[in-house]
Amino acid sequence: MQITFASYNIHKAVGLDRRRDPERILTVLREVNADVVALQEVDRRYGRRMAVLPLDMIQASTDYVPVPMSMKPDSLGWHGNAILVRKGIDLVEAAPVPLPVLEPRGAVRADLMIEGRRLRVVGMHLDLSGLRRRHQVRSILSHCADCAQRVPTVMMGDFNEWTRAGGCFREFDRDWQVLAPGRSFPSRRPMATLDRIIVSSEWDVLGTSVHHSPLSAVGSDHLPVSASLVLPKF
């Protein structure tokens, strides 16, 4: 069973041209063409935390369905984090993952059913502080460990970690593989691998990539990253 996962910090749909253009973001998502997408900065930060990607626009112009996660009626996600799944993928359960924070940060979890297999997806946007990032990763790992059952898991998002293998990535033991698809920030001239995908030991990795197109180069300050994974048969 081959599945493509992607992560994209959409910068509240404000591009390098300073225009808020949700349709441009949705076009980039269609270019990436992943099965499951974790988005960061998908809601406005203040006030009613309104979604910058309107639900009706997502449903009308893509094959995605947002995982219901909002704690606020006008939001798409939780602290700006959201998960989109391709139509036809079944949602088993979903929950926000509280993180130790001083600034608004969060993570979201969705358990999905694809071709009869249950799997878990966690999307996140971690802190700027290195010590706090490590505490946040521990909280996410503890949350998953406390779930009713262990299932193949993919964690992805903007880790805000500039080191390639140290920092918060030290929290992942040998049961996890930290993937670095490539430089994704800043989008115009990428220098840092801030956007990562981390997979549990059940997955085989076919490949990873950074999506660089004319639209993605200006649509946000991050580029989307993706990984093609295979879940072997029982």
For 191-210, give the secondary structure using H, E and C. CECCEEEEEECCCEEEEEEE
Query: Is residue 75 scored above 80 in pLDDT?
Result: no
Read off the pLDDT of residues 154-174 as tens digits, 9 standing for 90 and up.
999 999 999 888 999 999 999
Beta bridge partners of 36: 5, 85
Mean pLDDT of 20-40: 98
Query: Is residue 73 scored above 80 in pLDDT?
Result: no
Read off the pLDDT of residues 97-125 as tens digits, 9 standing for 90 and up.
988 766 667 899 999 999 999 999 999 99
Long-range contacts of 85-91 (CB under 8 A, 24+ apart): 85/35, 85/36, 85/37, 85/110, 85/112, 86/34, 86/35, 86/36, 87/63, 89/35, 89/36, 89/65, 89/113, 89/114, 90/114, 91/67
Q: Report the domain count for the chain.
A: 1
Domain CATH for 132: 3.60.10.10
Domain containing residue 190: 2-230
Query: Is residue 70 scored above 70 in pLDDT?
Result: no
Q: What is the pLDDT of residue 72?
A: 64
Give the C-alpha separation, 156 to 12, whole Å.
Answer: 18
